[in-house]
Amino acid sequence: QADNPDKKSIEIRMKVIKNKILVMSSKGGVGKSTVSSLLSYGFSKRNNNTTKVSVLDVDICGPSIPKLMGVDKLQIINSEYGWIPPKVQQANHDIKVMSVGFLLGTPDAPVIWKGPRKTTMIRRFLKDTFWGKQDYLIIDTPPGTSDEHLSIINSLKSCNPDGAVLVTTPQDLSCDTVKKEISLCRQLNVPIIGIIENLSGFVCPCCDEVTEIFKSDGGKKLAEQFNIPFLGKIPIDTNLGKSAENGVCSICDHPNTPGTLAIHSIIDKI
């Protein structure tokens, strides 16, 4: 990729963000954005809700973070310090969210952008947003291995990103394509923090019996095969789905459901 003319400005913004974590998946619909939002809620609850967290959605063509986190009606504010991102303000959270979703005139308009335009946008998100001092920046990427991945990885190269969390479902179809994410990370020297197996079984709310709707352990076996930490399984939890539809924090609304307990245990390993 061409030299990054914004390198210095990006470094200045990123220097005061302690941890930068990419969330990646092979396919759409495996729960990558759900995991990104859950990680951000979970991290922000640390240290009595004093941990500062921001989310950057670089899924340029299919931004779902604003709706998922209930900020889709809010807007970016222009200021002398840069773009002030909308904030999730529910249940003591104070999470900044940046997404191309805020810049689209109509939410249903398709984004038909070529690679260079996406790269420019991603760099602007990094350098023009007034992130301020943060403990975590969670970066939700589109499915697959595309322009957005190259852009974000190259833009952050000199900013010490922690690495990538890979999300898969237990099925071979998803696990097989995650191997491409693993190769991409290894080729571009992005550390892999670990693999999360989402939609992993259904826990009956009445009797706690686990039904393996798909198959089991696909993500775990993949982690073993590639010698990558396995961070844990998140079951299908209807509460997670409902909270996502309503744009509310599921781990605040349903603190003891299987999905919430799973995400806390995952966060403890990161």
| CB nearer ligand ADP, residue 153 or residue 262 | 262
Helix (H) or strand (E) holding 165: strand 163-168
Residue 75: count other Cβ atoms within 10 Å of its Cβ.
Answer: 11
CA distance 56 to 134: 13
**Position among 30, 55, 71, 88 found at the interface with ligand ADP (CB under 6 A):** 30
CB of 99 to ligand ADP, least distance (A): 13
Binding mask 88-127 for ligand ADP (x = CB under 6 A): ----------------------------------------
Interaction of residue 182 with ligand ADP, rule CB under 6 A: no
Cα dist. 254→119, 170, 207, 241, 259 in Å?
A: 38, 24, 17, 12, 9
Distance CA 112, CA 92 (A): 37
Q: Which CB sits closer to ligand ADP, 225 or 246?
A: 246
Our finding on whether 144 is near ligand ADP (CB under 6 A) is: no
Q: How many helices (H) and strands (E) does the chain have?
A: 11, 11
Which residue number, 222 or 244, has a Cβ lying nearer to ligand ADP?
244
Q: Going residue by residue from 195 to 214, which x/- string records binding to ligand ADP, judged by CB under 6 A?
A: ---xx---------------
232: left (phi over 0), alpha (psi -120 to 50) or beta: left
| Least Å from the CB of residue 91 to ligand ADP | 18
Enumerate residues 6+ apart whose C-beta is below 8 A from 164: 21, 22, 23, 24, 181, 185, 190, 191, 192, 193
Q: Which is nearer to ligand ADP, 6 or 59 (CB)?
A: 59
Separation between Cα atoms, residue 98 and residue 235, nearest integer Å: 28
Smallest gap, in angstroms, from Cβ of residue 34 to ligand ADP? Answer: 3
Is 33 among the residues that bind ligand ADP (CB under 6 A)?
yes
Q: Which of 248, 231, 23, 46 is nearest to 137 (CA)?
A: 23
The residue among 10 and 167 lying less far from ligand ADP, judged by its C-beta, is: 167
| Residue 241 found at the interface with ligand ADP (CB under 6 A) | yes
Q: Residue 20, SS3?
A: strand
**Residues interacting with ligand ADP, by CB under 6 A?**
25, 28-34, 64, 198-199, 234, 236-237, 240-241, 244, 259
